[in-house]
Amino acid sequence: MPRLDVDEVIETVEMIRMMNLDVRSVTLGVNVLPAARPDPEETGEEIKSIILDVADSLVETVEEVEDELGVPIVNKRIAVTPCSLVTAPSVREHGPEAPLVVAEALDEVASEVGVDYIGGYTALVYDGYTESDEAIVKTIPEALSSTERLCASMVVADSRYGINMDAVKDAAHAVKRIAEATDGHGCARFVALTNAPENTPFMAGAFHGVGQPDACINVGISGPGVVRAVVEELEDADFRTLHDEIKRTAFKITRVGELVGRMVAERLDVEFGAVDLSLAPTPEPGDSVAEILEGIGLEECGCPGTTAALHLLMDAVKKGGAAATSKHGGYSEAFVPVSEDAGMARAAAGTLTLEKLEAMTAVCSVGLDMIVLPGDTPVETVAGLIADEAAIGVATGKPTGVRVILAPGKKPGDEFEMGGLLGKAPVMKIPDKKPTMFEREGRIPPKPPR
C-alpha cells in the first residue's frame, strides 16, 4: 500500500477535525465452531475461552492505533460463527432452550472484553430449518431481552435459493415479540437479511462466515460529512465532475480504513479481512447521507430524483473505495438508517415515505433500516416489508435487510428516541391494508441462472 504524502496527511487531519471522519467499526470475527458440545454450559465456557484467547487485548489494541493515527474509531465489535451451527449438539441433547445459555455466555464475554456489540446469534434459514435453527429463532426475543450487547439475525432469502416465506413470517413474529419484551428498543439488535455477507463489520447482521479463517479483522469506514463537504464545494459542477470528486474522496477515506485494519490485525496476530466501503451516517449534525443527496440536488430527500442521486453517490463511492483497498467486503454501499441519520429522520417527518425508502434500497444497502413504525403494526405487515426487501435482494443479487422498530403506544408522527448513535426518528405511516399471502406456506423460487 503506498505511503501517504504530506498533503494527504494534512487533508486527512482536516477531514477528521472538521468533517466528522471516523472509522465506524473494527470488528473481530472469531470461529467458535470448535466450542460445540452436547452440554450447553460447556459450549458457553468454551466459546468464552476461544474469544478471550484472541480478543482479550482487542479494545486496548484498537485504542492504541486510534491514538497513534489520530483517527477516531467509534465501535469495537466481535462477530462469531452462526449460533445455529454452534449449538446444534446441545439442542439435540438438551432441547430448544439450550441456545439461551450460549446467548448469556456471549453477552458476558462481550462485557469482559469491553466491546460494544457481539453478533452471531444467527439462523441461516433461507432454504429451510434445522432443529437448531428453530431453537435460535424461537429464543431470539428472550435472548435479546435478557442481554445488552448481543445482536441477532435471520438470513431468510438468498439469490441462489429464493425466499423462505415461512422464515419471513417467523422473523416478523420475532420483531413483534422483541418489541413487546424490550419496549421497542431491542428491535435495533435484530435484522432479517437476504444475501448476507459473511465479513461485514456492521451490526446487527454481523456473523463470522464458515469460509473465513479462525480469526480476522473487518473494518467499516464512515465519512458522510466528508463527502457532503465535497458536494457543497461543487454546487455548479456537472455530474461527471461531481462523480469523479466523490470517487477521489472515497479513495482517501478507504485508505484510512485499510491502514487501521492492517495495523490492528498485525498487532493481534490475526488475518486482515476486508474493508466495508459503506457510508455509515450518525445523528451528529452534518454526518448525514440525506444531506449529501440534497447537496447533489434535491429540495428534500425523498422527492423525485432521490433514487438517481443515491445511485450516483453509490457508484462513485464503490469505484473510489474499491481502488483503495486490497479487499472490500461486507455491504460496501450506503446505509440509509432513518433514526441514525438526522437528515433522514427530518425527511421522514416530511417528504420521505416508506415506499420511497424501499425504492432507494434497490440501489443501496442495507435495506429498510432503523425505521420506526407504530407498536400495533400487524405482524403480516412487518412480514410484507421483509418479503419486499428480500425480493429486491434476490432479484438484484445484492444484500438487503430489514431492521424495523415497533414503538409501543406510538402513532404516526410521534417521535421515538433510541439514544446514542441509534438516534431518534418519527414514527412513519404504514398502509392500513395488510398482505394475506402469509396464509400460504413455502418458498418463492430464485431467479433463473444467467
Closest CA to 391 of 340, 443, 330: 443
Round to whole Å and give the CA distance between 18 and 167.
45
Say which CATH topology domain 1-336 has.
Answer: Anaerobic Ribonucleotide-triphosphate Reductase Large Chain (3.20.70)
Residue 292 has pLDDT above 80, yes or no: yes
SS3 311: helix
Written as nine digits, the cell of 292 is: 449529501
Considering the chain, what percentage of its residues have pLDDT values greater than 70? Answer: 93
Round to whole Å and give the CA distance between 218 and 262.
9
Round to whole Å and give the CA distance between 314 and 88.
39
Residue 215 CB contacts under 8 Å (≥ 6 apart), including other chains: 28, 29, 30, 31, 54, 268, 270, 271
End-to-end CA distance of the chain: 36
Residue 21 CB contacts under 8 Å (≥ 6 apart), including other chains: 12, 15, 71, 72, 222, 223, 225, 226, 253, 256
Written as nine digits, the cell of 99 is: 441456545
Written as nine digits, the cell of 225 is: 460529512
The one-letter code for the residue type at 372 is: V
Q: Which residues pair with 256 in a beta bridge?
A: none
- Alpha helix ranges (H) inside 349-429: 354-360, 379-396
SS3 411: coil
- Residue 179 near residue 187, CB atoms below 8 Å: yes
Report the pLDDT value the prediction gives residue 256, as an integer from 0 to 100: 82
Considering the chain, what percentage of its residues have pLDDT values greater than 90? Answer: 60
pLDDT bucket at 10, cuts 50 / 70 / 90: very low
Q: What is the pLDDT of residues 385-401, one digit of tens each?
A: 999 999 999 998 888 99
Residue 175 has pLDDT above 90, yes or no: yes
Of 90-99, 154-163, 256-265, the least confident: 256-265
Per DSSP, 284 falls in state: S
Closest CA to 275 of 208, 213, 202: 202
Round to whole Å and give the CA distance between 183 and 54.
35
Cis peptide before 181 (omega within 30 of 0): no
Angle, helices 224-233 vs 239-268, to 10°: value is 160
Closest CA to 74 of 106, 109, 113, 115: 115
Residue 11 has pLDDT above 70, yes or no: no
pLDDT bucket at 12, cuts 50 / 70 / 90: low
pLDDT bucket at 7, cuts 50 / 70 / 90: very low
Residue 18 has pLDDT above 50, yes or no: no
pLDDT bucket at 318, cuts 50 / 70 / 90: confident
Closest CA to 125 of 103, 144, 152, 100: 152
Round to whole Å and give the CA distance between 293 and 69.
30
Residue 305 CB contacts under 8 Å (≥ 6 apart), including other chains: 297, 298
258: phi > 0 → left, psi -120 to 50 → alpha, else beta; which?
A: alpha
Round to whole Å and give the CA distance between 308 and 301.
11
Report the pLDDT value the prediction gives residue 78, as an integer from 0 to 100: 95
Q: Are strands 23-30 and 271-276 parallel, antiparallel or unpaired?
A: unpaired
Report the pLDDT value the prediction gives residue 14, as an integer from 0 to 100: 54
Q: What is the largest CA-CA distance in the chain?
A: 67
